[in-house]
Amino acid sequence: MTKQSFSHLDSDGRARMVDVSAKPDSQRTAIAEGRLTCAPQTIELLRAQALPKGDVLTVAKIAGIQAAKSTGSLIPLCHPLALNSVDVDFSVESDGVVIRATVRCTGKTGVEMEALTAVSVAALTVYDMCKAADKAMSIGGIRVVEKTKT
């Protein structure tokens, strides 16, 4: 069995930020997705915009965009990136909401963490805004579904 190396560890096993200065800039895109599962009655309230905290999906979209832009401050070894675009979309289903974030930048490192952070915070925002109506919601399945570099 070979010893696996981790780019965020130095030769002594200490945490470090990866040096990407020698890498060329490239166009980077990452798409992440996750799901908030809830009761059908909560979906009815969400669709009718009848939840007490207001327009849930608009607030969650803004929260996801802000989160993507703040990823370098939230996750200690992530590089702060100048993002070109962040889009957060929702697919409202009968028993939940699928959240999808697409993040793009021109840079030396990928934007997977930014896309994952956008989905996570958008899901948490939907949860926060719906929790008075539904105590049994759950968040899961958060993952990168696509990433590209050109």
Domain parsing of the chain, residue ranges: 26-149
- Who contacts 136 (Cβ-Cβ below 8 Å, separation ≥6)? 38, 39
d(CA 45, CA 48): 5
Classify domain 26-149 at the CATH class level: alpha beta
* Catalytic annotation, pick one of 10, 95, 128, 134: 128
Please state whether 54 falls in left (phi above 0), alpha (psi between -120 and 50) or beta: left
Among 145, 63, 146, 130, which Cα is nearest to 92's? 130
pLDDT value, residue 33: 98
pLDDT score for 146: 98
Global pTM? 0.91
Between strands 26-37 and 96-107, the pairing is: antiparallel
The per-residue pLDDT for 139 is: 98
Known catalytic residue at 10: no
pLDDT by residue for the chain (150 residues), tens only, comes to 444 566 777 777 788 788 888 899 999 999 999 999 999 999 999 999 999 898 999 999 999 999 999 999 999 889 999 999 999 999 999 999 999 999 999 999 999 999 999 999 999 999 999 999 999 999 999 999 999 999
DSSP state of 141: E
Cα–Cα distance, 127 to 135 (Å, whole number): 9
Q: Confirm if 46 and 92 have CB atoms less than 8 A apart.
A: yes
Yes or no: say if 117 and 30 are a contact pair by the CB < 8 Å rule: no
Q: Are strands 96-107 and 138-149 parallel, antiparallel or unpaired?
A: unpaired
